[in-house]
């Protein structure tokens, strides 16, 4: 049985989920990209671009932003598999409807719970990877989830984002 206590020293790749392009950057669905960008900035690495991803490498960890749009995020997994990186050595950063805004946690495995980016990744390598779940809360009208995740954070939420990104990075990098 694998270790169920998160150890950042065992992580070899961090995938931030989001959609490419400036119109999406500050939306709820793109918090993974924003956290990855901040890690890259703090570690001084620059991204390389390939057909389906932007990636950078710190001393020991690949930082990945899929450029395939959310529903095809898993298409970056073969790149990591070719590097010999196993699912339990991967951390995926994603927005989480089931958590209130600002609630951030790390967990191993689980279902996609309707998150299309996670569904795609699970389709490529199964469920046994680490996830940083960044709470975005649910819209008042549950039928409006698709629109909700593609809207920017509210002004008062956006004012807290920098601190929450820092909190998230502190969970990932020790």
Task: Give the C-alpha separation, 23 to 152, whole Å.
Answer: 10
Burial of 79: CB neighbours in 10 Å, binned 0-12, 13-18, 19+: middle
Active site residue: 28, 29, 53, 94, which one?
29
Is residue 29 part of the annotated active site? The answer reads yes
Burial of 8: CB neighbours in 10 Å, binned 0-12, 13-18, 19+: middle
Task: Give the C-alpha separation, 143 to 59, whole Å.
Answer: 44
Helix %, strand %, coil % of the chain (to 5): 45, 20, 35
Instruction: Point out the residues that are catalytic.
Output: 29
């Amino acid at each position: 049985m694998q270790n169920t206590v998160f150890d950042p020293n065992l992580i070899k790749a961090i995938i931030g989920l989001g959609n490419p392009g400036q119109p999406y950057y500050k939306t709820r669905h793109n918090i993974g990209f924003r956290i990855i960008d901040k890690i890259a900035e703090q570690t001084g690495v620059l991204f390389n671009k390939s057909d389906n991803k932007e990636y950078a490498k710190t001393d020991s960890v690949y930082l990945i932003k899929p450029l395939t749009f959310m529903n095809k995020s898993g298409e970056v997994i073969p790149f990591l598999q070719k590097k010999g990186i196993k699912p339990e050595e991967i951390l995926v950063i994603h927005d989480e409807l089931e958590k209130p805004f600002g609630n951030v946690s790390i967990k191993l495995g689980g279902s996609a719970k309707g998150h299309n980016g996670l569904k795609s990744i699970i389709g490529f390598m199964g469920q046994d990877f680490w996830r940083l779940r960044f709470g975005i809360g649910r819209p008042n009208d549950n039928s409006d989830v698709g629109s909700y995740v593609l809207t920017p954070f509210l002004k008062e939420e956006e004012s807290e984002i920098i601190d929450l990104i820092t909190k998230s990075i502190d969970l990932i990098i020790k």
